[in-house]
A = this chain, B = another copy of it.
């Protein structure tokens, strides 16, 4: 009765990537290097001001699902978009990877989410995110049959900022556990952890079977500067945790194991967007294939090493090639 290997609930976002000079960032009056939330009008004003752009689907959990689809897993995504051009782009991109995305576009409400990413010559990125309709996810948008029938439910912390979406996440977690499925959570961002520490602490401890976080997010969650102490804490609360540490690779933590997986050497770091999303995809690919945790970790690091050498967070062809050549299925 398993329907999918992994189903994710998250934000359906299209990235608009432009290489610009510092004066362009200054002219739009956004803090350089940070992510700012903007409204539809601001987003359009910034976009219209850019002379050349690359549009690619994004969204943290959606990137993970697109990668799992490319690797041949049965993956599905639940998220909201409008019946507009960006919504069409998002849907056709995720479906082109082989992933399932069944929901119909909304015919009313805010526009499809988009994130304008301005990359300056110093390789820093300034982001203006218009969450649009993606943040209006309702509990009813979570299909009980899809969640109940998927081996793993995957949730991104980002949507925890939105009250309805939080209810949708809680409903999804309940549905998964009722059917004996596993719940995976990514903490998404240290600021996101800061804003929601108490409820994240609670769902990590009581609802999460597989936790993804980077070092900063883990330290923020447990309000400590001591990585080993945080590892010790999480090992008592979550069955499997995969903590990424940039160029130091990853640590996979279970009750009785600490597995250090080195990062793959990368000659030129082009764009770190999607590194965590692709690590999660590689790792969940291994879990779905019943691989030992060590191999899952290697798959995560290999997937991350591919995406950081390319612009944007979607790289289905390069990812599929890397896994094929490594002989992984």
Given A306-B54, A325-B55, answer yes or no on A92-B320 (Cβ-Cβ < 8 Å): yes
Which one of B52, B324, B325 lies within 8 Å of A266 (CB-CB)? B52
Given A96-B316, A267-B19, A270-B311, answer yes or no on A321-B14 (Cβ-Cβ < 8 Å): yes
Instruction: Determine the distance from Cα of A46 to Cα of B140 in the docked complex, in whole angstroms.
Output: 55
Give chain B nearest CB distance to A312 CB in angstroms: 8
Nearest opposing residue in chain B for A327, CB measure: B85
A-B contact pairs, 5 of them (CB 8 A): A52-B305, A55-B325, A57-B317, A93-B317, A309-B311
Interface size class of chain A, counting residues whose CB lies under 8 Å from the partner chain:
35 or more
Give chain B nearest CB distance to A273 CB in angstroms: 13
Contact A56 B317 (CB under 8 A): yes
Given A321-B14, A324-B88, answer yes or no on A52-B265 (Cβ-Cβ < 8 Å): yes
Contact B55 A309 (CB under 8 A): no
Contact B18 A267 (CB under 8 A): yes
Which one of B70, B85, B89, B318 lies within 8 Å of A54 (CB-CB)? B318
Contact A322 B55 (CB under 8 A): yes
Q: Mark A233-276, 1 if CB is under 8 A from B, else 0.
A: 00000000000000000000000000000001111101000000
Contact B265 A309 (CB under 8 A): no
Instruction: Determine the distance from Cα of A57 to Cα of B20 in the docked complex, in whole angstroms.
Output: 29
The 4 lowest CB-CB distance pairs between A and B, nearest first, are A55-B321, A19-B268, A19-B267, A89-B321
Instruction: Determine the distance from Cα of A325 to Cα of B114 in the docked complex, in whole angstroms.
Output: 13
Which one of B19, B85, B97, B267 lies within 8 Å of A20 (CB-CB)? B267
Contact A89 B55 (CB under 8 A): no
